[in-house]
Structure 1
Amino acid sequence: MAELSFRADPDVWQVVPGMPELPAWYERQVDAAPEDARDAVVTASALALSARVDADLTAVLLLCDPAADLYAMLGVVALDGVPAPDSAAGAIGIAEALAPSPWPGEALAFDLDGVSGWRVTLLDEAAAGADESVALPQTVTTVYVADVRGRCVVAALSPLTPLAAAVVQVLAERVILTFDVEDGDGESQEGEEPA
């Protein structure tokens, strides 16, 4: 079976480990948190821990920058035997299944050094106000639906304010452009380390 590999800048993203390292990772997060940001760090780390334990994800990455008051999670799943969609409508369908929204998703095609697909932005459900003709989003969810050597890889950011999403999308795309599929003998096709 092929495995997804990627490179994430350790100054930006932490790869959330699996068991048995996960409890110690969480304790280090809490212990290292600045006092004035402890609650935010605890919440972000707990959500990342929960995603790692409860969801069937290939990888979970956490962005935790108390100085900038910026917290985000990137959950990644590489789907076995599932080709990437060949249309924006297909990508929107996948994104809307992950993050239902009363508003239609918007897809933007991307090609990041050979990793291509769609970035789908969805207004979160709380954004729909009393007047359904006007949306003032409090948060948005960004879902990347990518084709990595014929394999469908989905990467979703946690809900973020629109301004934070604009910043974090750039940081997430730096990881996504490194996505590759490792062949069956355990060696990366591009010399990358597996996730």
Structure 2
Amino acid sequence: MPELSLSADSRIWSAVPDREHALPWLNDLCEGRDESVIRDILTAAELAVLTREAARSGSVLLLCEPDAGLYAALTLLVPGLPAVTHESDAVRIALAATPSAWEPVAVPFELHGMPAWRLTIVIDDGPNEGAPRVIQTVRAMYIFALGGRLAVAQMSPLPPAASALAMPLAEELLASIEVADA
């Protein structure tokens, strides 16, 4: 993965460290917080550390906004493949990462002067003998180019309302990425 720099709002975003370096990070996340939200912060942090372990070569950031009850991991991967230039390819990547019976909603935009897509993938619990499909969570995924390479940023699944709040925060963060060593 190329060397990346981010200008994240440190009040809500933090880089997720390896498990062996997590204790000081956890202390910083919980410092000055009301006891009523510490359990949620610790749960979100544990899930983010597990995500970091699974991502191996990617970067993982934790969105932690206890006042809004908003917690999510954003995983950024740059696998060294050519950048995607067509929406259909972005949709194919999104469905490969998060299979869904629903077609992802793709919203094109420009990021760093290149085409990019925000894909919203609905995750439901499926039909239950005549019952309607119920949307449980959605996942926002971003397919874009960094230094001419494919880049994928994926939020952890969130309830629809929380996902709507997290998307602009993620997009602000992604706009701040700079490739230091392409």
Superposition TM-score, scaled by structure 1 size: 0.82
Q: Deviations over 1:81-120 (max 9, x none)?
A: x012221111111111111112221211111352531111
Instruction: Flag structure 1 segments of 5+ consecutive residues without an equivalent.
Output: 185-195
Does residue 71 of structure 2 align to residue 71 of structure 1? yes
Q: Find out whether 1:168 has 2:176 as its counterpart.
A: no
- Structure 2: stretches of 5+ with no match in the other structure: none
**Residues 100 and 125 in structure 1, CA contact (< 8 A), matched pair in contact too:** no
Q: Match of 1:12?
A: 12
What is the DSSP-based 3-state SS (H/G/I as helix, E as strand, rest coil) of the residue aligned with 1:138? strand
SS for the counterpart of 2:134 is coil
How many Å apart are 1:183 and its aligned residue? 2.4
Q: d(CA) in 2 for partners of 1:132 and 1:106?
A: 26
Q: 1:101-140 counterparts in 2 under 5 A?
A: 101-126=100-125, 128-130=126-128, 135-140=133-138
Bigger mean CA deviation after superposition, 135-144 or 68-77: 135-144
Q: Aligned residues, how many?
A: 182
Residue type of the alignment partner of 1:180: E
Find the counterpart in structure 1 of residue 155 from structure 2.
157
TM-score by length of 2: 0.87
2:130 & 2:111 partners in 1: Cα distance?
A: 35
CA distance in 1, matches of 2:170, 2:130: 31
Q: Secondary structure at the match of 2:107?
A: strand
Alignment deviations for residues 132-160 of structure 1 (CA, whole Å, 9 cap, x no partner): 99643121001101112311110000111
Question: Could you tell me which residue of structure 1 aligns to residue 93 of structure 2?
Answer: 94
Tell me the SS of whatever aligns to 1:159: coil
Q: Hey, which of these two has a bigger chunk of strand by percent?
A: 2
- SS of 1:97's partner is helix
CA RMSD of aligned residues (A): 2.4
